Amino acid sequence: MKPLDLVRLWAMARKEALQLRRDPRSLILAFILPVLMVLFFGYAITWDVKDIRLSAWDQDRTRESRELLEAFQASGYFTLTERAEGYREVEEALALGRVRAVLVIPPDYSETLASGRPAPVQLLLDGADANTATIAMNYADAIVAGESVDLVLQGRELPTMVESETRIWYNETLESRNMVVPGLVAAIMSIIAAMLTSLTIAREWERGTMEQLAATPVRALEIVLGKLLPYVAIGLFDVAMTVAVGVWVFGVPFRGSVLLLAGMSLLFLVGALGVGIFISAVAGSQVFAMQAAMVATYLPAVLLSGFLFDISAMPVALQAVTFLVPARYFVVVTRGILLKGVGAGVLWPQAVFMTVFAVVGLGLATRVFKKEIPA
């Protein structure tokens, strides 16, 4: 196999950079769309539930019942918007969607506490939104547990000999943005990278410049790598830009190595850009290439990468399919470096998979690309 001619390779890279500079659509796609997507999805995608509208039916009307209601309001998760006087009003408030939860305090609540026995209260939740209902139930459990500690300190219950303490690592405030934004960087770059290079070869055919390339001694691999180099630089810039937006705008911590993130990003981008060139060589037209790139990257990157949905909760068949989605590995990398500060000793499996993906992507693009002019 003949070695690569670096002069021809650099000439192809310079030619592609000049074409890119003259194409406003590609410039918007390369420099503006990633930031807009991070801002839009970063604000739109959130699992944080706050200001849950709460109704209360306080049948006890004592100091103890008021303290429980005040604990719910002071938590910052619940907002007491109305009070009920019976189950009919409770049912109406939930059915009409005026509230998401109703706290029912029994008439003997304070008496039961005074006797040293556990005092049950009822929380009715609107289960039409299962996610919000589950989170609201967890919030309520934590509030009631905290209130129970206060009761123990006041001497109304016998203290237990064993106490549990929960500590949360990596995302101490449980902000969903800290989980969403690093995964969002991986998903966006998977989409943008393939879309950028999906236009390269198709553009040569549509503009009639492929005939000129066919007449030159430039080899297929040199053409593919030459077209790839400018987009690798753009991709690394986009990764840096989207990570900066995540850190400065959304407050996502950055605890790991910048150099490790750059190296892992390079592996991922080479594979993703190679897939884009492969699509461009197969498609033949820019419109079809763009559509194919969207289908091949958008849905897998969003649904099957672990960015939004836990892979372990998927059916076994889909879990197997996720191994073919490169964004799956880059999501682990971005979350590991930004949130956990882990190093190459932890992320080496992802590096291996992304290296294989990069080699396969470039191999497919080179194999499919043909310099010959069809008869």
Q: Which domain does 91 fall in, by range? A: 52-153
Contact 354, 271 (CB under 8 A): yes
Same domain, yes or no: 38 and 68: no
284: left (phi over 0), alpha (psi -120 to 50) or beta: left
What lies within 8 Å, CB to CB, of 67 at 6+ separation is 147
The CA distances from residue 85 to 61, 98, 100, 125, in Å, are 12, 15, 17, 17
CA distance 84 to 19: 68
Same domain, yes or no: 70 and 198: no
Give tens-digit pLDDT for 221-263: 777 788 888 888 888 999 999 999 999 998 899 999 999 999 9
Rg (CA), the chain: 28
CA distance 101 to 136: 8
Same domain, yes or no: 244 and 194: yes
Give tens-digit pLDDT for 304-339: 888 888 888 889 999 999 998 888 999 999 999 998
- Regarding predicted confidence, which is higher, 178 or 264? 264
pLDDT of 353 above 90? yes
CA distance 300 to 333: 17
CA distance 314 to 74: 37
What are the two backbone dihedrals, phi and then psi, of residue 79, each rounded to the nearest 5 degrees? -125, 115
**Predicted local distance difference test score (pLDDT) of residue 212:** 66
Same domain, yes or no: 184 and 250: yes
Residue 165 falls inside a structural domain: no
Give tens-digit pLDDT for 59-91: 989 988 898 899 888 888 899 999 998 888 988
CA distance 336 to 191: 21
The mean pLDDT of the chain is 81
The CA distances from residue 82 to 50, 68, 122, 201, in Å, are 17, 16, 16, 63
Total domains in the chain come to: 2
Same domain, yes or no: 34 and 65: no
**Predicted local distance difference test score (pLDDT) of residue 164:** 46
Contact 193, 231 (CB under 8 A): yes
**Predicted local distance difference test score (pLDDT) of residue 225:** 83
Residue 166 falls inside a structural domain: no
**Predicted local distance difference test score (pLDDT) of residue 137:** 86
Give tens-digit pLDDT for 151-165: 554 544 444 444 445
Same domain, yes or no: 85 and 234: no
pLDDT of 40 above 70? yes
Q: Which residue has the tokens 């008439």?
A: 107
Please give the single-letter amino acid code of residue 260: L
Cα-Cα-Cα-Cα dihedral sign, residues 235, 241, 245, 247 = positive
Residue 296 falls inside a structural domain: yes
Say which CATH number the domain at 117 has: 3.40.1710.10
Residue 163 falls inside a structural domain: no
Contact 90, 104 (CB under 8 A): yes
Same domain, yes or no: 356 and 274: yes
Q: Which residue has the tokens 């019942």?
A: 65
